[in-house]
Structure 1
Amino acid sequence: MAMNSKQKTSIAVILAGGAIAAAGLIFAGRGSGDGAAEAAPASGAHREAAAHGDGEHHGSPAGAAHDDAPAHGDHEHHEAGGKEEKEGHVEMTREQIQAAGLTLRVAGPARIEGMVSFPGEIRFNEDRTAHVVPRVAGVVEGVSANLGQQVKKGELLAVLASTALSDQRSELLAAQKRLELAESTFQREKKLWEDKISAEQDYLAARTALQEARIATQNATQKLTAIGASGNAGNARALNRFELRAPFDGTVVEKHLALGEAVAADANVFIISDLSTVWAEFVIAPKDLDRVRVGETVRIASTAFDGKAEGKVSYVGSLLGQQTRTATARVTLPNPKMAWRPGLFVTVGVTDSSAEAAVVIESEALQSDGEKQVVFVAVPGGFQAQPVKTGRSDGKLVEITEGLKAGAQYVAGNSFVIKAELGKAGAEHSH
């Protein structure tokens, strides 16, 4: 069919519009698909990242490390605190230090006298110890002294009734009467001889009798003095009364008699010792004999309590014992407070040498921590237990060979207070 020009023009316009629409649709479709494709990976990546983040946070090593970091830090902090306590760190304020009475010193160089130690034992001073015996047989009528009592010289210890004493006093009384008669006879014969009334022979006989009476009286008096009894009994009923008295000031350390008991003349009824001085006896091996000299000052330390004293060597044995092959030495030790009791084991320190040491502390500053020795050193906010190794010591000062430097401030007096605080902190941490 033939078309006119208008129809051709209309068809061309329609075809052109359709082409443009189709091209728009194709472009729109391509644009939408490309955006989705590009968005999908991004969205997927986001979801993957989120999932990965959650997974890593909950289960991955990185997430675990991240999550555990604070907990691990707390744990490490907790262990660190416990480790500091275990190593001996004690926090104390200035007020607490003053309240505890801690004495601080500075470690530094000093001269130390080397000591050689010997085991010893406190004994009675035998020069001031009396084994009291009655020196006359009798029966106990009274006991005045008790065990452990302090007595003065001449104080009454006991009273005995003794027939032997009665005989001796009777002998003295008879001798005194004969002496009175002899003196009277001598005076009479002397006057008669001077007046030429009697012969010289009678005068000489009277003089001889007087001298014999004096000797007899003196003899009877000396017998009573030898047993510690007085010649003047007071009355006839007291002729057998014997008073046993203390020979010097001291302490009754032994008592071996009771009321009504018959005792022999040589019975050891009391032991009295003057405990104001005691002996510290120790034994010396032959190789050490040249180190101990009479008159040398030594230091005595107790193994039972924190007691220390100084004394001088008063005796060094010149013979070795047949069984022990050692010599005995003795220190006379003042004992004003009666702290050194006989039977107490001690250590006797004898000065052997003297030398300078680079780092020295007071011996009371050392404290034991298990098998090691420590010194509490001042640090900011408190004290730290510092393990040390020791060298020479003279009982008062100790050389530090390792663990402490000169100039370090340490606790000298009452260092046991810090040790106690350290022990309490360790107990609380263990719970």
Structure 2
Amino acid sequence: MKIEKHWLMTGAAVVAALGVGFAAARMLPATTASPAAAEEGHSEGEEGGGPVVALTPEAAAQAGVTVIALQRGGGTELKLPGRVAFAPGAEASVDAPLAGAVTRVHVGLGDRVSIGSPLVTLRSPEGAASRATADAAQASVDAARAAERRDRTLFEQGWVSQARLDVTAAEARRAEAELRAARARVGAFGAPGSNGLTVVRSPIAGVVTRLSAAPGQVLHEEALQVAAVADPRRVELVFEAPPSAADLIRTGDTLESTIAGSQAVTGVVTAVAPANENGVVIVRARATGEVPPAGSVVSARVSAGTGTGAWSVPLDAVQTVEGVASVFVVEADGFRARPVVTGRASDGRIEILSGLTGTEHIAGAGAFLLKAELAKGEADHGH
């Protein structure tokens, strides 16, 4: 009997302890954010949602995470080779306006210049001759105008005929026309001085990318180039496509590009040229976000048409979070991991059968970085 009484008392104590523990657990908050988690920018999502990485799209872009919109599957996709090139008007090959000897070089490679900045100065006999011609034309105009004023006064006094006045007036108009032509020639030559010195100036603002003139060099009519200037901020994506692409790609189509094998750049098609003599269709696109310098090699996947299938995203956008396929959706407080049901995967993309409405913007390339941040936050919680 004593033994039975002992076990009954022991069982009652255990039940009481469990009850106290359960009550205490109910009194605890549902989630408690540790200081470490707060510092790392992680927070649990609201009821029914997933965890959140508290990161703005701008900060995410700096970390290498791109933000993309969803696309319908079923459209035609083309893989196109291409390059980053200067946009029209963003590059200038500068020639000297006339032959002569270079006396001074004002810039070096990589120097930033403005419109009208001096590049080189040269001395040209032809420039000196054009200035002399303009000066002589000015003197002829002065003399012709003086003769016209004299004959007009004499005509008003009755000393010369109307015919004489008409001749002197015509001479003045001819002299003025010759002066305009001489001044235009001087302007085309870069406004050389009477000593033939001509300053070659930059026609655009940008950076000096090539310099082919040196002091003492003599420029001839067949080789007048002195420098090249380009604006590195004005670049575009240029792709080469097969002739069949002309009927598939439209202005406004979205493309996803990869530069240097890793960096992702999205863009919008701005122009599609007809097939050239080599049977190549040139596709130009305006890139968004940071773009590498001109000359970088780029490859792209062009979605020609919106398609009518399920929503599709790049394979990189789908990450396994807490054992569930998820994408990181852009929200006001950061990137929320939202569970999704995936479908078929092909050509670097995967279908999203449910979990998204299609209006969301999600993390594309670099989504694994957000997953790593979540894992880091969970590790901090474990300490």
The TM-score range, normalised by the shorter chain, is: 0.5 to 0.7
Distance 1:298 1:156 in 2: 41
Letter in 2 for 1:344: S
Q: In the alignment, what sits opposite 1:140?
A: 102
Contact 2:79 2:300 (8 Å CA) reproduced: yes
The superposition leaves residues 81-122 of structure 1 with CA deviations (integer Å, 9 ceiling, x where unpaired) of: xxxxxxxxxxxx977766666799859xx7645543322111
Distance 1:96 1:379 in 2: 23
Root-mean-square deviation (CA, aligned residues, Å) is 3.8
SS at match of 2:239: strand
Letter in 1 for 2:369: N
The superposition leaves residues 282-319 of structure 1 with CA deviations (integer Å, 9 ceiling, x where unpaired) of: 12223333211234343333234424132333232243
Distance 1:299 1:212 in 2: 63
Change (3 A) 1:111 1:177: closer
The superposition leaves residues 195-226 of structure 1 with CA deviations (integer Å, 9 ceiling, x where unpaired) of: 11123343233212211211111110111122
| 1:378 alignment partner, one of 322, 332, 344 | 322
| 2:257 alignment partner, one of 300, 325, 329 | 300
User: Does residue 282 of structure 1 match 2:232?
Assistant: no
Contact 2:255 2:303 (8 Å CA) reproduced: yes
Q: In the alignment, what sits opposite 1:244?
A: 200
Cα deviation for residue 350 of structure 1 reads 2.1
Distance 1:355 1:306 in 2: 29
Distance 1:416 1:140 in 2: 60
| 2:369 alignment partner, one of 414, 425, 428 | 414
Q: In the alignment, what sits opposite 1:354?
A: 307
Distance 1:334 1:139 in 2: 45
Contact 1:133 1:269 (8 Å CA) reproduced: yes
Q: In the alignment, what sits opposite 2:293?
A: 341
Contact 1:118 1:284 (8 Å CA) reproduced: yes
Distance 1:137 1:228 in 2: 12
* Counterparts of residues 378-397 of structure 1 (less than 5 Å): 378=322, 391=345
Q: In the alignment, what sits opposite 2:334?
A: none
Change (3 A) 1:347 1:189: same
| 2:229 alignment partner, one of 265, 272, 285 | 272
| 2:274 alignment partner, one of 309, 317, 325 | 317
Distance 1:223 1:309 in 2: 48
Distance 1:187 1:258 in 2: 52
Letter in 1 for 2:285: V
Contact 1:256 1:269 (8 Å CA) reproduced: yes
Q: In the alignment, what sits opposite 1:160?
A: 122
| 1:208 alignment partner, one of 151, 170, 180 | 170
Distance 2:213 2:374 in 1: 52
Q: In the alignment, what sits opposite 2:219?
A: 263
Distance 1:349 1:106 in 2: 31
Letter in 2 for 1:327: V
Contact 1:102 1:415 (8 Å CA) reproduced: no
User: Does residue 176 of structure 1 match 2:131?
Assistant: no
Letter in 2 for 1:277: R
Change (3 A) 1:307 1:152: farther
Change (3 A) 1:165 1:148: same
Distance 1:311 1:252 in 2: 29
TM-score by length of 1: 0.58
SS at match of 1:257: coil
Cα deviation for residue 167 of structure 1 reads 0.4
Q: In the alignment, what sits opposite 1:226?
A: 188
Q: In the alignment, what sits opposite 1:372?
A: none
Contact 2:100 2:125 (8 Å CA) reproduced: yes
Change (3 A) 1:95 1:377: farther
Identity %: 20
Cα deviation for residue 347 of structure 1 reads 2.2
SS at match of 1:292: coil
How many residues align structurally? 294
Letter in 1 for 2:103: E
* Counterparts of residues 56-71 of structure 1 (less than 5 Å): none
Contact 1:143 1:258 (8 Å CA) reproduced: yes
Structure 1: gaps spanning 5 or more residues: 1-92, 367-374, 381-387, 422-431
Cα deviation for residue 240 of structure 1 reads 0.9
Letter in 2 for 1:329: V
Cα deviation for residue 342 of structure 1 reads 1.7
Contact 2:321 2:371 (8 Å CA) reproduced: no
Change (3 A) 1:250 1:136: same
Contact 1:276 1:334 (8 Å CA) reproduced: no
Contact 2:208 2:228 (8 Å CA) reproduced: yes
Q: In the alignment, what sits opposite 2:93?
A: 131
The superposition leaves residues 149-193 of structure 1 with CA deviations (integer Å, 9 ceiling, x where unpaired) of: 221111111111111100000000011011111111110011111
User: Does residue 116 of structure 1 match 2:78?
Assistant: yes
SS at match of 1:127: coil
Q: Which has the larger radius of gyration?
A: 1
Change (3 A) 1:248 1:202: same
Distance 2:250 2:355 in 1: 35
Q: In the alignment, what sits opposite 1:151?
A: 113
Change (3 A) 1:318 1:286: closer
TM-score by length of 2: 0.64
